[in-house]
Structure 1
């Protein structure tokens, strides 16, 4: 008997549970007639609606407070998380059920909402505005981070730059970072963070770089000097060279020095310019010595050749003339003035060997 009763109760409970479950299925064709006739069966749906609505509004308020009074990017991220959670709860509300207010449930438990179309739209719009604010703040934070990264990399590149072109590229990158800072949207948090950072970045740029135009101009002078110096060094390779070639090389070194002297003493590149100036002046002095050695050697060879021609003419007219032996030391003396490493050196050595052998032969005879 009791078993039969218990079984009947269990079946009844199961059947009622099944009916409630079916009645609360999220289909308008089921819920609408149930809400009109037996709204008590929709109690689980009403409870769920109330819970989701309360959670959504609470999370929106929390997110609004976090975003409106954010003190750092972490608050914005937490606000974004709250917005996402609020949207998940709001999406659980059955839009198709608008207008079917759960009067019994609200009379018993006190609903804070009527779940009308206007109320739902207001919640959606509030959510959309908050999402837009979060997006603006997040986007502004990304731009701020990008600008600061660009400026930091530009500073490092400027410090490591060894040529004017490299400095000019770093300055352009630095200026690009400053431009990014000025373009950041003035959102509550980003606007507060950008103003002092932009002022500091502009101050650093002015202190380190100074006038962009002057800095680039001075760097150009140094680069131009290096170009002339490089060409002078190339032309100096594989000596000996003629007097004309050495004069051209001297002209290149002088052009390089002239460019370096145009860098003012208060310019960022002044120290580098002075270092190059000292180096190039030493190279110019060396080249001038090579020019003078070449000039002296050529002149000595020319004098020796004149004496040789006279000596040869005397040998043809009077092979036994004592002047033949007497004139050879003069020729040898001039040939010995020809310095090694000059264009006249090879010819002078050959003539010198010939003159010494002739002198020995004449002395023996």
Structure 2
């Protein structure tokens, strides 16, 4: 290592030129000063310090700037550890930048690199391997938790696995499917190979489980809400002080039992609801039978006949949803019960009792008619939506925006299918599939 490096020498030389003039004496003084600096420049040893540099120039140039001397001393110091680290960091950053650029998800970049230097794509292959295995594991775990759930906790845990699986699938490079990373797999012994069919199958499986989770969570919310409302209605009935209050409570109890019957039976909450309905009907039977019973138990023949038809109608309407034909049958039974009561004349002893039952039966008939109409409308909507879906599959529009608009129209139509109808579950599945198709179109 030389005592004066080139950089410090140039700093001192420039300052000497500034301090000297162009006459002959100044030229000689400058030569003397430069010879001293050149000697230090070619002499090996420890770097010259401030005093040595000052001594070399101060007798020739008393006006020599001390600031420049200090600057030269700093420049004369050898490169330290941190300087080397800086250059190493710069080199590593540059290499990382190049590696990041060649791993960008653009085929025009990736394919040439894959052909000439596939090892540079190692980060992509590692990412593909990680997300592929993560997707397969998450889908398998979600399938076990969601489709074989035994409690709401299983459904919630399964929902988390569904999200994890979706995350991994979203991070798989779709355009790179089918490409076998030979360089990577020759080193790490891959046993997998990406295929479009496998990817699409996992996508569909995730979408179906998303729909199941959504339906199950809604079903459990309905079950919890109805159970709480039933307990409140029972407490209100037991504390009721008037006949009107009792009737109001009985109506609330029957309403919540009907809600429990409308929970889809294919859901876990629906299975639990069916089991609980048996106990609820036994516990609350004394409240619900009052709809067709009388207080004193003494009725005429017509009232007894009306009660028989009403009982059959109530039994036939249990465990909905039902097709429109079944609701028509229930409607006829309520109509027959109403016809019997309407035959009781105003001057007969049981007329007032018959009128009370008549009001209840007419209300029940109105509910059944509304359900029949809702069922028919929902079936027709589902039929039309299926026809539109088949038409889109057979001849999809070429423009993506038009295709999205057509699919959104089908979704809006399916959303009009009412809960509690036989077509509601099918409509929800079709909505989930349509939404997944929209996401795929938007991702392209």
Question: The TM-score by the shorter chain falls in which range?
Answer: 0.5 to 0.7
1:166-205 aligned at under 5 Å gives the runs: 166-187=245-266, 189-205=268-284
CA contact (8 A) 1:168 1:216 kept: no
1:140-159 aligned at under 5 Å gives the runs: 140-159=219-238
1:314-353 aligned at under 5 Å gives the runs: none
1:20-55: per-residue Cα shift (whole Å, max 9, x none)? 111112333322332233221111011011111111
Cα drift, residue 77 of structure 1: 0.7
CA separation in 2, counterparts of 1:216 and 1:89?
Answer: 65
CA separation in 2, counterparts of 1:31 and 1:178?
Answer: 62
Match of 2:128 among 37, 49, 55: 49
CA separation in 1, counterparts of 2:113 and 2:136?
Answer: 28
CA contact (8 A) 2:223 2:263 kept: yes
CA contact (8 A) 1:52 1:93 kept: yes
Residue aligning to 1:119: 198
Cα drift, residue 5 of structure 1: 10
Residue aligning to 2:177: 98
CA separation in 1, counterparts of 2:232 and 2:295?
Answer: 19
Residue aligning to 1:248: none
CA contact (8 A) 1:154 1:170 kept: yes
Query: Normalising by the residue count of structure 2, what TM-score does the alignment of the two structures yield?
Result: 0.45
1:286-301 aligned at under 5 Å gives the runs: none
1:5-27: per-residue Cα shift (whole Å, max 9, x none)? 99987765544332211111233
CA separation in 2, counterparts of 1:149 and 1:10?
Answer: 64
CA separation in 1, counterparts of 2:207 and 2:85?
Answer: 54
Cα drift, residue 112 of structure 1: 4.2
Match of 2:157 among 65, 69, 78: 78
Cα drift, residue 200 of structure 1: 0.7
1:128-143 aligned at under 5 Å gives the runs: 128-143=207-222
CA separation in 2, counterparts of 1:206 and 1:176?
Answer: 13
Query: How many pairs are equivalent?
Result: 221
CA contact (8 A) 1:136 1:187 kept: no
**1:11 and 1:213, CA in 2 relative to 1: closer, same or farther beyond 3 A?**
closer
CA separation in 2, counterparts of 1:30 and 1:216?
Answer: 86
Cα drift, residue 88 of structure 1: 1.2
CA separation in 1, counterparts of 2:259 and 2:178?
Answer: 50
CA contact (8 A) 1:140 1:187 kept: no
Residue aligning to 1:16: 95
Larger Rg, first or second structure (1 or 2):
1
CA contact (8 A) 1:76 1:137 kept: yes
**1:209 and 1:40, CA in 2 relative to 1: closer, same or farther beyond 3 A?**
same
1:157-188: per-residue Cα shift (whole Å, max 9, x none)? 21222222222221111111111111111235
**1:112 and 1:211, CA in 2 relative to 1: closer, same or farther beyond 3 A?**
farther
CA contact (8 A) 2:250 2:287 kept: no
- The runs of 5 or more residues in structure 2 that have no matched partner are 2-78, 298-348, 354-444
Cα drift, residue 123 of structure 1: 1.2
Query: Normalising by the residue count of structure 1, what TM-score does the alignment of the two structures yield?
Result: 0.54
1:53-99: per-residue Cα shift (whole Å, max 9, x none)? 11121112112111233221111111111111221121111112223
CA contact (8 A) 2:139 2:202 kept: no
CA contact (8 A) 1:63 1:79 kept: yes
1:273-302: per-residue Cα shift (whole Å, max 9, x none)? xxxxxxxxxxxxxxxxxxxxxxxxxxxxxx
CA separation in 2, counterparts of 1:54 and 1:203?
Answer: 51
CA separation in 1, counterparts of 2:295 and 2:132?
Answer: 63
- The runs of 5 or more residues in structure 1 that have no matched partner are 219-257, 263-365
Match of 2:293 among 214, 219, 225: 214
Cα drift, residue 215 of structure 1: 5.7
2:190 counterpart SS class: coil
CA separation in 1, counterparts of 2:245 and 2:257?
Answer: 19
CA contact (8 A) 1:68 1:188 kept: no
CA contact (8 A) 2:253 2:288 kept: no
